[in-house]
A and B are shown apart, each in its own frame.
Chain A
């Protein structure tokens, strides 16, 4: 596939849109359309601009600069462009764009291309509208010339350009070549939202067909002539290195072609995956663990609890908390512990690398183009643009494929380097490699205190966090770490929305923990939403107040939080008590949280049995993510977020013993199965504001809503994740 045309630009012009956007394009731009299988170019397409090609077969090909990892980016981006183009949804196809930070950068990230932080729709909104509207204007201009009529008298609807007075009509495909020769309009008129025909409606997913008949291409599915499969023996401890190895037995395995040492371990290369696995099993490696990290998670947590006894670096400070707590009539306190979490995407990490005479090709569920491209180029001594990244569907990521250190991508490149590029290599991580490969959601300890004054009013809030920094040492450090505070360690805590006059948030960032950490769907909010929202319910209980009423009192300056909270509470009939069957306890809990500029409230309904086991029966959600580009995808993402977050709350935990990760597969690291999935009802707040994200924001308020429901039923606030249900035995 993707022997992509964009390489063959004969010349390039740029459209300066009203928002300062750049729509690079080429002319006359004959494109080899990408077919489903590698190397099979078929149709001839005309490139209208960087995001749009029109095929002679009348197909509209929309190029997605963002990875499709399940979150619906391909469908969402195509919906925006197709809306302004007035295309027929049925004629629209989506392809992954190549790596080119000049044309395909994430406009929120400056000169870097990549997908993350729930930004795909938000950063592309204006850009894709401009690209669609510019394409439409060029089709209209071409038709006006061909028919010798005024452009103002031409209409476009559902992929047909027409002139009512003369009765003339043409498809996009018939006009494409002429349209590409038109001048790109300097200024385009965007639609009034009331005229939207796709946005806010129900545009069906573009990847449903391929993902239900086995033809969708993931990295795992790439086969190249002469390709070898590599499976790597990784050190059992983080920071350990190869001392020596004996490959004689591995080399004796039929199908094994080579065994090479790389910085990450020892790679066994074979003609197929099973032979590579057998080869790795037969390999004998002795490891140098003199510099390895050897603590267990219990010891890490004990250390963090010690650190939490002393003040940390100040992340937020308002009023005078010291004075407030000294004079408080009542102080409520609690501490919370959060484990390391693996992303455990269904497709374990993998990457295909092929070295060529003039550069290097990479096939990957590519989430971090500019970073990965730069690193691979540096390793091979190439220029970044000589590294061609083919972005394929990712079988989940949840942040893992946007690795700050390009870990598995570089591992694949190192293997190719070690064999002098003699064959293309598919690096395959088995499930155990993936689960033990680090880059976890960091383990955190939080300590919170609240001060009530003599009138029972909440007047002070102190939140102390201890945990590793994700961004220190990453390419984002300069942008996101200020005065020793990694923004993503405290997000969701330092911007607490509640009107509390005295607030202090401080942070300890241990630097001697050798466990690689990374963003995990919703990043800092994956723990801060839990501690803040569960603790607030503890405070409400101490004040004798209803959790929804207290929040609304404290959210006077945050109408969007209040809006989703009220909507969720109303739809859940908050004021009506739940009925419990004999021997069971039931409770309802609420949590509200803002992340990535979107606002989500969940009400969870939970049943607890005598033995302490928990069943989440139903989750009622309200979300405000600006303009709902595709309401059904918003529902789908929130449903999935509920399951993903519940999985972590019920059973998600990576533990270390003597530095060694104890889990390796889904037996030790259970993830939510269908029987534990609650019913989910999603309510979307109508909005005409620019869209914000929805891939992550549904996650943070799930676990606290469930914990608050458990507390409502049992009086017990769970302060350790995952939940320890033995605490709940009746």
Chain B
């Protein structure tokens, strides 16, 4: 049994300690907003926050995050920055297929939590680990600027 603190709730999960956080979230807790895309921390679809920092859940064993504060897309609207990012995403209709967007939003929230006025270069840097095969990148940039404006 491993104790995971997710979105403010404590869960006891019965999985092997080497199980990636991604599969504990998805298969054990059915928090399916966090997506599997590559299993190698190459695409960012599985991005969650651990103590507020973006982490790729597919390469993070549950044993490494036991007892730490984990936030997933399902609870991101409880944060002011998270809500602003979601609203900007909706206002600009960023999504296409949508599969990568939980991860994009988690990375964007982490960026804006650190840097309230990111430049295009800041955005490209912070978001470089998040692939979007539909290439919604133009709107991701615009939505991050939009959210920054709303938070100012």
Contacts and interface: CB of A to CB of B under 8 A. Distances in A.
Interface of A: 69-72, 204-205, 207-218, 220-221, 223, 229, 254, 272-274, 344-348, 393-398, 428, 430-431, 632-633, 636-637, 639-644, 646-647, 665-667, 671-675, 677, 679-680
Contacts of A348: 36-37
A448 B35 CA distance: 45
Given A208-B90, A212-B95, A395-B97, A640 B135 contact: yes
B113 interface: no
Contact of A208 (B23, B39, B95, B138): B95
17 contacts: A70-B95, A70-B96, A205-B95, A208-B94, A209-B90, A217-B32, A223-B32, A272-B27, A346-B133, A346-B134, A394-B97, A395-B100, A643-B132, A643-B134, A643-B137, A644-B135, A680-B138
Contacts of B35: 218, 220, 346-347, 395
Nearest to A682: B138
B150 interface: no
A215 B137 contact: no
Given A212-B89, A431-B39, A632-B93, A673 B20 contact: no
Contacts of A677: 135, 137-138, 141
Contact of B89 (A208, A254, A396, A667): A208
Given A205-B95, A212-B89, A220 B135 contact: no
Secondary structure at chain A's binding surface: helix, strand, loop or mixed? loop
Given A213-B77, A665-B38, A674-B123, 18 more contacts: A70-B97, A70-B98, A205-B95, A214-B73, A272-B15, A273-B23, A274-B19, A274-B27, A346-B134, A396-B133, A431-B38, A636-B136, A639-B136, A643-B132, A643-B137, A647-B135, A665-B40, A677-B135
B99 A212 contact: no
Interface of B: 15-16, 19-20, 23, 26-28, 30-40, 42-43, 45, 72-74, 76-77, 86, 89-90, 93-102, 105, 123-125, 127-128, 130-141
A642 B135 contact: yes
A71 B96 contact: yes
Contact of A667 (B37, B42, B86, B137): B42
A457 to B, nearest CB: 40
List the 5 closest A-B pairs by CB distance, nearest first: A214-B33, A643-B135, A395-B99, A211-B98, A70-B97
B61 to A, nearest CB: 10
Contacts of A212: 86, 89-90, 94-95, 98, 101, 105
B117 to A, nearest CB: 18
A644 B134 CA distance: 7
Contacts of A395: 35, 97-100
B131 A673 contact: yes
B99 A396 contact: yes
A667 B40 contact: yes
Contacts of B95: 70, 205, 207-208, 211-212
A641 to B, nearest CB: 8
Nearest to B73: A214
- The listed residue with most B CB atoms (<10 A of its CB), out of A208, A217, A639, A647, is A208
Given A207-B95, A208-B93, A430-B39, A220 B138 contact: no
Contacts of B102: 214
B32 A673 contact: no
B96 A636 contact: yes
B23 A272 contact: yes
A637 B139 CA distance: 12
B6 to A, nearest CB: 13
A254 B17 CA distance: 12
Nearest to B127: A674
A274 B15 contact: yes
Given A214-B32, A220-B32, A272-B28, A205 B93 contact: yes
Nearest to A435: B38
Given A208-B95, A396-B97, A671 B28 contact: no
Contact of B32 (A209, A221, A643): A221
B99 A347 contact: yes
A640 B134 contact: yes
Contacts of A220: 26, 32, 35-36
Contacts of A214: 31-34, 72-74, 102
Contact of B137 (A216, A272, A666, A674): A674
Contacts of A674: 123-124, 127-128, 130, 132, 137, 140-141
Contacts of B134: 70, 346, 396, 640, 643-644
Name the residue in B26, B33, B93 with the highest tally of chain A Cβ atoms < 10 Å from its Cβ.
B93
A643 B138 CA distance: 9
Contact of A393 (B26, B98, B123, B127): B98
Contacts of A647: 135
